[in-house]
């Protein structure tokens, strides 16, 4: 058995934060029913690239779920949700505050009939506050919370982060974590709850080190001027002579000593507290004097937290990650092909065996069926 076998999740979300949260629940055994717009469904269904007759991105995020098409603006269509709500343990929604309430599907409405329901709302700015109705995407959320300003690159060439930080670390992961906490609380009390997941609220813990500096000194770090954002020699990206990049992170003194010895840094510069800028310039010049392959050989076996930046292809071909089974699970596509499933942070013991590929749902795969296969939940 998987930990969440028997749990039923009714998922009204689209795109990334909610679908990732419900994917994590599905991978751990939950039955996830996507409620989608008739005709088009989740917007992610139309996102390129396509593989095997469907969006590869949609397939990655929705493996192992079912699909129910409902026109939420139609009272008759909304009535078809009742047998599914009768079975649901969890509802996840991602609309702006008030939308579900206007449809008669808000927490206050549903909790009267289903007092044990766990209702998770994922939004950019939360259910309350002056910005609650403001639209945004990941870049807006990390920009407005001060996170992006800590390491945005030079003003003439600002860098867009490679990961959707707010969607995942601020939305999907906190949603799953709080759903699991709410399930435990329901086990103790018998009551459900409304979870207000604000992606912007959840950006501030990611800046813990900057908040600590501000609290201690009264001054917040600037753009790239802190130890953890490239402002010091001990935590920085150094270009090699051939354009490869060395990711050097010898923060602790024992690593720093090994690093300085390996690159042959002048003894007078090894105490980087004396003239940090001079030490940084010297290290950068040394690294820039040789190609990446040279530094790979130099640091092989040296305990100093230094690695070359790998491409995604190189990372997936790495013997370590292959041994860890990063690509073992498969997703079945509409035409019968399979592709690598999204490597989710659920330990293997809690997931299906890799030998059982699962697919994303065809639009409306449950439409016309009466709530699925399991019994109704106790609505008393």
Active-site residue list:
137, 167
Contact 209, 228 (CB under 8 A): yes
Write phi, then psi, for 241 (nearest 5 degrees).
-65, -25
Compute the distance between CA of residue 297 and CA of residue 294 in angstroms, rounded to an integer. Answer: 5
With beta carbons less than 8 A apart as the criterion, state whether 116 and 190 touch.
Answer: yes
- 3-state secondary structure labels for all residues of the chain: CCCCCCCEEEECCCCCHHHHHHHHHHHCCCEEEEEECCCCCCHHHHCCCEECCEEHHHHHHCCCCEEEECCCCCHHHHHCCHHHHHHCCEEEECCCCCHHHHCCCCHHHHHHHCCCCEEEEEECCCCCCCCCCCCCCHHHHHHHCCCHHHCCCCCCCCCCCCCCHHHHHHHHHHHHHHHHHHHHHHHHHCCCEEEEEECCHHHHHHHHHHHHHHHHHCCCCCCCCCHHHCCECCEEEEECCCCCEEEECCCCHHHHHHHHHHHCCCHHHCCCCCCHHHHHHHHHHHHHCCCHHHHHHHHCCCCCCEEECCCHHHHHHCHHHHHCCCCCCEEECCCCCEEECCCCCCCHHHCCCCCCCEECCCCCCCCCCCCCCCCCCCCC
Taking the C-alpha atoms of residue 93 and residue 356, their distance in angstroms, rounded to an integer, is 29
């Amino acid at each position: 058995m998987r930990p969440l076998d028997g749990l039923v999740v009714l998922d009204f979300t689209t795109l990334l934060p909610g679908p990732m949260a419900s994917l994590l629940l599905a991978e751990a055994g939950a039955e996830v029913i996507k409620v989608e717009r008739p005709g088009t469904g989740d917007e992610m269904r139309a996102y390129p690239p396509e593989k095997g007759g469907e969006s590869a991105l949609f397939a990655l995020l929705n493996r192992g779920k079912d699909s129910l098409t409902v026109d939420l603006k139609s009272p008759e269509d909304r009535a078809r949700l009742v047998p599914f709500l009768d079975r649901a343990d969890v509802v996840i929604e991602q609309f702006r505050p008030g939308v579900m309430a206007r449809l008669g599907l808000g927490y206050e409405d549903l909790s009267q009939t289903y007092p044990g329901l766990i209702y998770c709302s994922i939004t950019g700015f939360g259910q309350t506050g002056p910005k609650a109705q403001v639209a945004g995407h990941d870049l807006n959320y990390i920009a407005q919370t001060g996170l992006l300003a800590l390491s945005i690159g030079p003003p003439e060439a600002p860098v867009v982060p490679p990961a959707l930080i707010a969607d995942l670390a601020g939305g999907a992961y906190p949603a799953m974590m709080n759903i699991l906490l709410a399930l435990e609380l329901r086990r103790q009390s018998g009551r459900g709850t409304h979870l207000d997941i604000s992606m912007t609220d959840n950006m501030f813990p990611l800046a813990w080190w900057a908040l600590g500096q501000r609290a201690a000194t009264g001054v917040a770090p600037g753009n790239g001027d802190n130890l953890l954002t490239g402002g010091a020699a001990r935590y920085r990206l150094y270009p090699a002579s051939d354009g490869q990049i060395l990711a050097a992170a010898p923060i602790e003194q024992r690593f720093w000593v090994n690093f300085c010895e390996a690159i042959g840094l002048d003894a007078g510069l090894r105490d980087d507290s004396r003239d940090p800028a001079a030490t940084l310039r010297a290290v950068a010049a040394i690294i820039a004097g040789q190609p990446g392959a040279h530094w790979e050989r130099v640091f092989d076996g040296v305990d100093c937290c230094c690695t070359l930046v790998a491409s995604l292809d190189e990372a997936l071909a790495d013997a370590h990650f292959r041994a860890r089974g990063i690509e073992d699970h498969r997703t079945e596509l509409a035409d019968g092909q399979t592709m690598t499933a999204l490597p989710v942070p659920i330990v293997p013991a809690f997931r299906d065996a890799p030998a059982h590929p699962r697919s994303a749902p065809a639009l409306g795969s449950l439409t016309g069926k009466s709530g699925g296969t399991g019994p109704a939940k106790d609505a008393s």
